[in-house]
Structure 1
Amino acid sequence: MYWIVLVVSFCSGDNGFDGTVMSSINSMKQYQHYFGMSSSGAKTGIVFGIFTIGSLCGVIPSAILPDKFGRRFTMFFGNAVLIVGALITGTAKTKGAFIGGRFLTGLGSATANAGAKSYLGEITPPQTRGLFLGFQNSFYYVGQLVATGMAVSTGRWSSEWSWRLPLFVQMVPALLNAVFVFFLPESPRWLHSRGKQEQARQILANLHSSTGDAKSPLVELEIEEIEEKIAIDGSDKRWWDFRSLFRTAADRYRAGMVILMGSFGQLSGNGMVTYFLPVLLKNAGILDQNKQLTLTFVNSVTSWIGALTGSAVVDRVGRRRILLISTSGLVVILAIVSGLLSTNDGNAARANAGISFIYLFMVVFSFGWTPMQGVYATECLAYEARAKGLAFYNLVAQASSCINTFGLPVALQKLGWKVYVIFLVWDVFEVVIVYIFAVETKGLTLEEIDEVFNQPNPRKYSVEHRFKFKANKNLPV
């Protein structure tokens, strides 16, 4: 199982590298002079935003490929597109070619990541699903670490390779996944929907049963639940028709959870730090390019530590609680940062304190939201709508990210520290919505989660009933 999780996690490493590499490159004078760019403004917004547009277009292959060709092929296809995009971007001589390559890396990254979340959610046992999906999404920061760490070194070079080399290296996690993905077993739920029940049963036995017995009570129970919930003809084959996400009250509640994760996971203020930390550092009075790149790398390290910690405890703390704790923490931190950085009077102690709390902000965000972005939407969606639902999740997330990539460069330029106040107010709203609507899914099989959403008030029902994974509690494995 650990090998499976590692290979699948390369897709999240893709996303972390591709989404972060521009933050470091954007602060390099070598890159700015080559393309006639600045660190913020409308032109910079286009370069950042085209990756988001590519990710939005990834909704189409993300809705078609997982159900038609399987979860593994979706990862392979997405990473192949990403590799092509990285080659174009790394060799770009014109701004048009550079933007075109960024579009393809966004398209490929989104497609591969959608397949990865479906796959891992369906193949991991429920009692450790939060840990493994959280780790997979936390691998974002491994890609981010490589991107920012490399930029610290290459940023000292005077040649154009200072920014070209990191763009080529973004192919590495994609290549690793593409090479090894077909050595992994296919999703047992996808196999079952294709009429390959015995193959699905054996994979569950190999991965979920300590004895590997395909007839063990645990495997029998899981197969019974899968047969009850998944028709042999599989999911809705009309990839363009998303009405299945909104047909019943339960479907609409699930879609609401997807919208919650997709939008809040991008608009909590994290995008401001992820994409524009060098600009924030500059606004706080840190002007040296090498120091900006080094501090961006440090942010990646501390954020990853927060994400790994959250992944380790999410199966014990629960989904609702970890979201409420982390989002409330973000509100407090943003209030402090707004106060510290509201006056740019050259006070080094005040600036350093403000930057320290920006780092703490990302640690707290990563603790709660990074693992949950990998876990929650996948868990909430029923099998028949999971591929479309995760494509819809990507649509919501990337549409929300457009606000960051297109709006933030201009907002930071025009409003400065007041941007922190805007996110502060929004995060208060997030706390209220999570408290009222978020459903607890800790410890449930994907099929048991279906039962929760079929209740009149899923949030109330999930909180009032202390679920136990019945197979793990009562049956030998």
Structure 2
Amino acid sequence: MSTIVEPKNNGINVDDDFDVAEMEKTDSDLLDIRAKDAQEVEHSLTALEAVKAYPMALFWSVTVSMCVIMEGYDTILIGNFFAYPTFAKKYGQYIDSNGNYQLTAAWQSGLNDSGGVGAFFGVLLNGYLVDKFGQKRVIIGALVTMCAMVLVTFFAPNVGVLLAGEVLCGLPWGVFASSAPAYASEVLPLQLRVFMTSYTNMCFIIGQLIAAGVLAGLEGRTDQWSYRIPFALQWLWPAFLIPLMFFAPESPWYLVRKGRFAEAELSLTRLQRKTANINVKDTLATIIHTDNLERELTAGTSYWDCFRGPEAWRTEIACVAFVGQVTSGMGFAYNSTYFFQQVGLTTRQTYLLNTGCTAMALTGTLVSWFAVLPYFGRRQIYLVGMSTLTIILFIIGILNVWTTKEHVAMAQAVLCLIWTFFFQMSIGQLGWALPAEVGSTRLRQKTVCLARNAYYVANVIQGVLQPYLMNPADWNVKGYAGFVWGATAFVTLVWAFFRLPETKGRTFEELDWLFAQKTPTRKFRTTEVNIFDREGRETLQAVAVARK
């Protein structure tokens, strides 16, 4: 276990009585020393030491991320209702040749995409709201809104009202999905950043696992409560999250951006353990130093600034990394209940496999946390993960040649479970973690929002395409869809090889320096970063002047 580095004062008085806000205005050298000391300490911490030093930051990150459980719950709920007999009978549009109710491919596409459409606008709005009101107040407002919107889906008399309800529910979902990883990245140290930003993905899985269990448990009911009870369960989360969030500390990065240094220091005091060998004022100095650096490199904090200068590459990485979850075949292999049904598996087999699929996702996430993320870089994990998913999808497509045999259909279903395991061990985690850590701190919320919206757009396209691929009244390609998504996964793999840099072990300030220097993709891991020496400052000043 490494030892926490003791701060060095380099002959300058840096006692705890100084005023960080005043120092920021009058003594940049002292600010540099404080920031450098804090950065050395942060690099020296092990994951276990970071957990001991930031217990409350972990607690509040977990709390905020739990809001995402509701979106994960409803995402798998509405998609898997298509194969749910009572739901199909209530909202179905026609009876197929086997005498079963089904929604048309058009309505399936609409319902699949409705939540994403609402979330798109919720995410877009969140980028402005958080900048004005902060994470805490926006999340509380979204939770209250969520309670009201669930009423529409619960009492929906027809499929049109249900679709409208899903769109309205998507508005707060967008807030949760973009706020949770951004909040985690801003309150946690370097060693815990990837775990808690990707914990948002774990909350999706928890929501999906709950939904899968609820659906399997209610599958035998033949009345309206078989689908109304799953909708009603969404009220449980706001009931205890709303009171809890009133006590959550605001992000210190947001407070520094607003010039509220005293409040930022108080927030850090609540997030860090007092007995830890970490100086709150040093941490605050690092935040101020990074914010000053980004003020020089970034012209503003608007969405447009995300596409200027070095930020354009950072935004590209965030967006494509998130979109990679869709292009890797998630809509086909992950939400695979309807696919299982179309290849001939029984309703009971379908929902048991769906529950198993979600359990595999949870297992893959845990394996990723304890056996993958601590030892391998982001780039390496993404490349190996996407390669594996591509191969599995092509195998599913090849097996479809013999799909008339029951054991082949079961083999395809098992491959979907294996795909889910590898997805959550790699792309599923990094799709959330990379956008939260790759953007500059002044534009982080908007970078995450753009990345999440890129995901929603891709998911809408996938949501339109996938039902037509599967529906027996339309293209009915069944397992051959593996070739379609295998091709998109391969294209994403090629992009990652040339454009995705290694960000593991880098502080936000170091990433600013690397992107400002236009460091080649494959040299991010080995390049030495010089932020505090004269040459490093001159380089960044030259970049700032060039941008202006």
- Provide TM-score, normalisation by structure 1: 0.90
Aligned-partner Cα distance in 1 for 2:514–2:374: 18
Amino acid at match of 1:400: A
Q: Which of 502, 518, 525 is residue 440 of structure 1 equivalent to?
A: 502
Aligned-partner Cα distance in 2 for 1:399–1:315: 32
Say which is worse superposed, 62-71 or 446-455, in terms of deviation: 446-455
Aligned-partner Cα distance in 2 for 1:326–1:396: 21
Asked if 2 retains the 8 angstrom alpha-carbon contact of 1:455 and 1:461, the reply is no
Asked if 1 retains the 8 angstrom alpha-carbon contact of 2:154 and 2:228, the reply is yes
**Which residue number corresponds to residue 381 of structure 2?**
322
Q: Which of 138, 145, 148 is residue 81 of structure 1 equivalent to?
A: 145
Superimposed CA distance per residue, residues 196-251 of structure 1 (whole angstroms, 9 cap, x where no aligned partner): 2133234335535663577468526524533433659x9956xxx52201121x11
**Which residue number corresponds to residue 18 of structure 1?**
74
Asked if 1 retains the 8 angstrom alpha-carbon contact of 2:115 and 2:169, the reply is yes
Asked if 2 retains the 8 angstrom alpha-carbon contact of 1:59 and 1:394, the reply is yes
**Which residue number corresponds to residue 252 of structure 2?**
188
Higher relative contact order (CA 8 A, sep 6+): 1
Asked if 2 retains the 8 angstrom alpha-carbon contact of 1:12 and 1:138, the reply is no
Q: Which of 91, 102, 115 is residue 179 of structure 2 equivalent to?
A: 115
**Which residue number corresponds to residue 135 of structure 1?**
199
Q: Which of 369, 377, 386 is residue 427 of structure 2 equivalent to?
A: 369
Q: Which of 439, 456, 459 is residue 521 of structure 2 equivalent to?
A: 459
Asked if 1 retains the 8 angstrom alpha-carbon contact of 2:510 and 2:531, the reply is no
Amino acid at match of 2:90: Y
Aligned-partner Cα distance in 2 for 1:87–1:44: 21
Aligned-partner Cα distance in 2 for 1:5–1:327: 28
3-state SS of the aligned residue for 1:317? coil
Aligned-partner Cα distance in 1 for 2:361–2:530: 31
Aligned-partner Cα distance in 2 for 1:386–1:2: 19
When residues 446 and 90 of structure 1 are mapped into structure 2, their CA distance, relative to the original with a 3 A threshold, is: same
Superimposed CA distance per residue, residues 39-77 of structure 1 (whole angstroms, 9 cap, x where no aligned partner): 561121112111121112213321211111001222222
The alignment status of 1:394 with 2:484, answered yes or no, reads no
The alignment status of 1:282 with 2:346, answered yes or no, reads no
Asked if 2 retains the 8 angstrom alpha-carbon contact of 1:23 and 1:274, the reply is no
Deviation at residue 297 of structure 1 after TM alignment: 1.2
**Which residue number corresponds to residue 28 of structure 1?**
84
Aligned-partner Cα distance in 2 for 1:223–1:449: 14
Deviation at residue 155 of structure 1 after TM alignment: 1.5
The alignment status of 1:348 with 2:348, answered yes or no, reads no
3-state SS of the aligned residue for 2:83? coil
**Which residue number corresponds to residue 10 of structure 2?**
none
When residues 326 and 215 of structure 1 are mapped into structure 2, their CA distance, relative to the original with a 3 A threshold, is: closer
Who wins on radius of gyration, i.e. which is larger?
A: 2
The alignment status of 1:245 with 2:306, answered yes or no, reads yes
When residues 152 and 216 of structure 1 are mapped into structure 2, their CA distance, relative to the original with a 3 A threshold, is: closer
Amino acid at match of 1:245: C
Asked if 1 retains the 8 angstrom alpha-carbon contact of 2:181 and 2:197, the reply is yes
Structure 1 residues without counterparts, runs of 5 or longer = 471-477
Q: Which of 262, 279, 295 is residue 322 of structure 2 equivalent to?
A: 262
Percent identity between the two aligned chains: 21
**Which residue number corresponds to residue 474 of structure 1?**
none
**Which residue number corresponds to residue 469 of structure 2?**
411
Aligned-partner Cα distance in 1 for 2:158–2:69: 27
Aligned-partner Cα distance in 1 for 2:258–2:285: 20
Aligned-partner Cα distance in 2 for 1:264–1:220: 35
Say which is worse superposed, 206-215 or 167-176, in terms of deviation: 206-215
Aligned-partner Cα distance in 2 for 1:224–1:57: 31
Asked if 1 retains the 8 angstrom alpha-carbon contact of 2:399 and 2:479, the reply is no
When residues 114 and 220 of structure 1 are mapped into structure 2, their CA distance, relative to the original with a 3 A threshold, is: closer
When residues 466 and 226 of structure 1 are mapped into structure 2, their CA distance, relative to the original with a 3 A threshold, is: closer
Structure 2 residues without counterparts, runs of 5 or longer = 1-56, 94-101, 533-548
Deviation at residue 151 of structure 1 after TM alignment: 0.6
Amino acid at match of 1:426: T
When residues 372 and 208 of structure 1 are mapped into structure 2, their CA distance, relative to the original with a 3 A threshold, is: farther
Say which is worse superposed, 213-222 or 305-314, in terms of deviation: 213-222
Aligned-partner Cα distance in 2 for 1:106–1:375: 22
Asked if 2 retains the 8 angstrom alpha-carbon contact of 1:147 and 1:166, the reply is yes
Aligned-partner Cα distance in 2 for 1:218–1:353: 56
Deviation at residue 431 of structure 1 after TM alignment: 1.4
When residues 16 and 469 of structure 1 are mapped into structure 2, their CA distance, relative to the original with a 3 A threshold, is: farther
Number of aligned residue pairs: give it. 462
Aligned-partner Cα distance in 2 for 1:67–1:195: 13
Say which is worse superposed, 166-175 or 321-330, in terms of deviation: 166-175
Deviation at residue 112 of structure 1 after TM alignment: 1.7
**Which residue number corresponds to residue 439 of structure 2?**
381
Deviation at residue 96 of structure 1 after TM alignment: 2.4
- Provide TM-score, normalisation by structure 2: 0.79
Superimposed CA distance per residue, residues 404-447 of structure 1 (whole angstroms, 9 cap, x where no aligned partner): 21111012231222211011112111111111111111122222
Aligned-partner Cα distance in 2 for 1:193–1:100: 37
Amino acid at match of 1:151: L
Aligned-partner Cα distance in 1 for 2:241–2:428: 21
When residues 55 and 252 of structure 1 are mapped into structure 2, their CA distance, relative to the original with a 3 A threshold, is: same
Deviation at residue 24 of structure 1 after TM alignment: 2.6
Aligned-partner Cα distance in 2 for 1:193–1:224: 8
When residues 208 and 444 of structure 1 are mapped into structure 2, their CA distance, relative to the original with a 3 A threshold, is: farther
3-state SS of the aligned residue for 1:138? helix
Amino acid at match of 2:192: T
Deviation at residue 294 of structure 1 after TM alignment: 1.8
Q: Which of 87, 94, 99 is residue 163 of structure 2 equivalent to?
A: 99
When residues 303 and 454 of structure 1 are mapped into structure 2, their CA distance, relative to the original with a 3 A threshold, is: same
